[in-house]
Structure 1
Amino acid sequence: MDPTITAAIITGVATLLTALITYITIIKTNRKKKTQEKANSIIIQPKDGYKIIGFDLDGTLLRGLEFSWTMVWDFLGFPEAVRKAGMRRYITQQTSYQEWCEWACDQFKEKGLKRSDFKKITENIQVTKNLNEAINILKNDGFIVGLISGGIDVFLYEKIPNADELFDHIYINKFLFDSNGLLTGVNATKYDFEGKAIALEKMCTENGFTLQNSIFVGEGFNDDEVAKKAGLAIAYPPKGQGMKAAANIEVAENDLLKILPHILSK
């Protein structure tokens, strides 16, 4: 065969092979990209279902009080009518939640509320039994644990000083104090009342789960909405009528370990 023809054939075959290899490489790259995109879009669905749990604070993890804010009002000697007037303005949407909290703190500031006062304010409050043990068991089982409260952070840290270690997420009103310990203001939570459900969903989304994978444990009237949205709601203790109606399970005994059989996989 003519050497020129042979060379042309070899060149043509080489060109075809190069094109084929390029085509195969492109196909593989596209398949890998689509597979990765599909994997990224999949939300984790654990076999045992629940992996996110949110807890209320006042009346749930802390006992001996109904609302932490009310305890401050009472400690400072305010008439009940003043406190209720402020709440009424919020409930009737005359003020925002932030404005309501700021108004309350303005009243507290006039009375000279100090950080050191909270030892006295909280002295008769008890932490629910076996809190640390129950939370650690949940975390060892792979749960993401959050605190979702419309209460006051000072109550939390007075009674549960290791709260930052126990909880992966904390949503609560934060009181601000100056260098002399005097109250100066408040960073109001965005996650009270209907906002509690938003906080629980936020925890789920950030960790690759849905609300169906979530549990909420509470007892107050501001827990009704989040109880309706959670995959499982536990009234602990079964107190508020709305929460009781929304809850799937009621646990009356003051022992946090008692909720675990309803949660953990067998």
Structure 2
Amino acid sequence: MNTIIFDFDGTLSKEKFNIWKLLWLECGYSTDKDSLYAKLYKAHTIDKLITRKEWFDLTCKAFKDKGLTKDKFKKVSEKIELIDGTHELIKELHDKGYKLCIVSGCIKQAIEIALKDSKQYFDVIQANEVCFDENNIIDKFIITPYDFKGKATFITEFAKKHNIKTNAIVFVGNGINDEFAFKSGCKTLCINPEDKTQSENKDIWHDKIDKTNNLYDLMDRFEK
């Protein structure tokens, strides 16, 4: 094992600080079960009624309608809290020579703000990007191709680029969009799963930690 690839939301960050939910709330929207936020999530992720692009376009329109600015985006991103022990884990893994990546359905600029100085230890941070217009109002999203099934694609491409085998890579995630990573042939570790039943599938998740409040606990798993 020489490479560790992390999801971000709910994996490195505390679950209640999901950037998408925070942005909807910042714009004055509800996020309860009957909200537009919840309906769009269900339409895309559960019912497959809209495409990812349609989800992003509708989300961007909702934010634009409320005048989401670059400054407000930064303020929201600064609210994101990482799970305890994240900075210590990342620095030690880097110092021991591991290649580190993040591949996420979050927003790259928000991840970089939340990571603070730990950003420097990652070889790649792959996520969606947000663009603002000349008035600093949200304009569009650049959608990462590396979410859901794309996570396996990222792992395969990273392994090929660096001339390593995919089984030398560990992917760490927690959500349904992470469940495709195993198809690359990498090792997988599920932590703090959104739904504990999902972590029971040993074809998808080769190892699991159902609950940890300190990410430094993962060090023992990486050094097996």
What's the TM-score, normalizing by structure 2? 0.84
Match of 1:47?
A: none
Higher helix proportion, which one?
A: 1
Instruction: Tell me how far 1:182 sits from its aligned partner.
Output: 1.5
Indicate the RMSD between aligned Cα atoms, in angstroms: 2.3
Are the aligned partners of 1:235 and 1:244 in contact in 2 as well (CA < 8 Å)? no
Match of 2:221?
A: 262
Which segment is superposed worse, 55-64 or 75-84? 75-84
Code of the aligned partner of 2:206: N
Match of 1:195?
A: 150
Equivalent residues, number: 216
Match of 1:22?
A: none
Code of the aligned partner of 2:26: F
Secondary structure at the aligned position of 2:116 is classed as coil
Instruction: Tell me how far 1:93 sits from its aligned partner.
Output: 4.4
* Pairing 1:108-257 to 2, within 5 Å after superposition: 108-122=63-77, 124-162=79-117, 164-227=119-182, 229-240=184-195, 241-245=197-201, 246-251=204-209, 252-257=211-216
Alpha-carbon distance between aligned partners in 2 of 1:93 and 1:239, rounded to the nearest angstrom:
19
Match of 2:40?
A: 86
Q: 1:183 to 1:220 in 2, by over 3 A?
A: same
Are the aligned partners of 1:217 and 1:235 in contact in 2 as well (CA < 8 Å)? yes
Structure 2: runs of 5+ lacking an equivalent: none
Q: 1:217 to 1:113 in 2, by over 3 A?
A: same
Are the aligned partners of 1:146 and 1:168 in contact in 2 as well (CA < 8 Å)? yes
Are the aligned partners of 2:18 and 2:80 in contact in 1 as well (CA < 8 Å)? no
Alpha-carbon distance between aligned partners in 1 of 2:118 and 2:94, rounded to the nearest angstrom:
14
Structure of greater Rg: 1
Secondary structure at the aligned position of 1:102 is classed as helix
Instruction: Tell me how far 1:149 sits from its aligned partner.
Output: 0.5
Alpha-carbon distance between aligned partners in 2 of 1:228 and 1:128, rounded to the nearest angstrom:
27
- Of all paired residues, the percent bearing the same amino acid is 25
Q: Which has the higher contact order (CA 8 A, sep 6+)?
A: 2
Alpha-carbon distance between aligned partners in 2 of 1:248 and 1:171, rounded to the nearest angstrom:
23
Alpha-carbon distance between aligned partners in 2 of 1:112 and 1:66, rounded to the nearest angstrom:
21
What's the TM-score, normalizing by structure 1? 0.72
Are the aligned partners of 2:86 and 2:215 in contact in 1 as well (CA < 8 Å)? yes
Instruction: Tell me how far 1:248 sits from its aligned partner.
Output: 2.6
